[in-house]
Amino acid sequence: MAPPRVDDPFFIIGTERSGSNLLRLMLNAHPGLHVPHPPHVMHLLGRMEAAAGPPGAPATVRRLAELVAGLVERHIHPWPLQPDPAALAAAADPPDLLGLSFALYDTSAAQAGKPRWGCKSTVMIHETERVLRARPRARFIWLVRDPRDVAVSSLDSVFNPKDPMHVGALWARQQQLGLQLQARHPEAVHLLPYEALTAAPEARLRALLTFLGAPWDGAVLRHRETPEAKTIAGLSDSWKNTDKEVIVGNSGKWRKRLSRRDAARIAAVAGPEMRALGYSIDPEDDGYVVGPGDQLSAALGELRGRLRVELRALRTDQNHWRRWRRRAWLWQQAAVRGRG
């Protein structure tokens, strides 16, 4: 039996290391909202969609459903649900990878006993128009954070780029998409600065739930008490703060952690988007011009940073090998479909 179809899902979009894990846990604590840790279906499998076969064909949908089920099985945050590919394929609407993602979340929400689900795959900022074509009532929570603080948080994370200039460039590209989405579909977008969320959690969550059309429930302020918060905090050092109180005023750390040059390089690649979103640029950082030396140092910094965090993850992260197992499986699947 197919799970109930959710016609008004919501998506937390933006750039990773902007507080999306915190927001996910807050909203997941609401009795009517289901926001599981995302397997990133579109992000990790999207490049394989075209190679799976003729769009919409039953055999194509079944192949994609098997990929989705395989991804969930290898997810770095284990799901209690192991989906059946045949059931996913039957429930996919539209009959493509996005429809399979919807069917997966519909099934998960039904299992959790909640009527509505949200997706915390922030990179869905690249898929918003496709989502709205399929689910016109979908809503987007555009979570933004000062890119300099995003860069600081990324230094010790296994997920983001490591060099501050690379982080700034990614942030700029993704905020451009957010600005375009907001201009085209203002009724579908709720802009939420991380700085505002951590400064006044209750006020910001009340406004957010109003936007979603969900009733207020104080459980969202007790997210750290949930088993889910305890689980994710123990899996990876990148998620270690998810079972703690909200860190009020957790912004501006870049002034102590970033060099003046790194702050200037971020401003050089993300200046227009920073200004558009209200993030001021220090006069001494304004006007910096990125040159060939910056590109080389960014590449070297990326390599050093990646080696450092991976070595640390071997010692501290319970899901380190699950992450590598997933990566190896994705490489294998991409190679098989590339030969096909």
Where residue 159 sits, what CATH number does that domain have?
A: 3.40.50.300
What's the structural domain count of the chain? 1
User: Letter for the amino acid at 34?
Assistant: H
**Is the pTM above the cut of 0.85?**
yes
Beta-carbon contacts of residue 287 (< 8 Å; ≥ 6 apart): none
What's the DSSP call for residue 22?
H
Is residue 5, in this structure, part of any structural domain at all? Answer: no
Would you state the structure tokens that stand for residue 29, as one six-digit string? 């604590």
Q: How far apart are CA 112 and CA 306, in angstroms?
A: 36
Chain segment 271-317, per-residue pLDDT in tens:
999 999 999 999 999 989 898 888 888 899 888 988 888 888 778 77
Is residue 2, in this structure, part of any structural domain at all? Answer: no
Is residue 1, in this structure, part of any structural domain at all? Answer: no
Q: Domain residues for 61? A: 10-339
pLDDT the model gives residue 1: 73
Is residue 278, in this structure, part of any structural domain at all? Answer: yes
* Angle formed by the axes of helices 227-235 and 20-28, nearest 10°: 150
- Across the chain, mean pLDDT equals 92
Phi, psi of 138 (to 5 degrees): -65, 150
Is residue 133, in this structure, part of any structural domain at all? Answer: yes
Write out residues in the chain with pLDDT < 50, as ranges.
339-340
Answer for the pair 262, 143: CB distance below 8 angstroms, yes or no.
no
Chain segment 54-74, per-residue pLDDT in tens:
999 999 999 999 999 999 999
Is residue 289, in this structure, part of any structural domain at all? Answer: yes
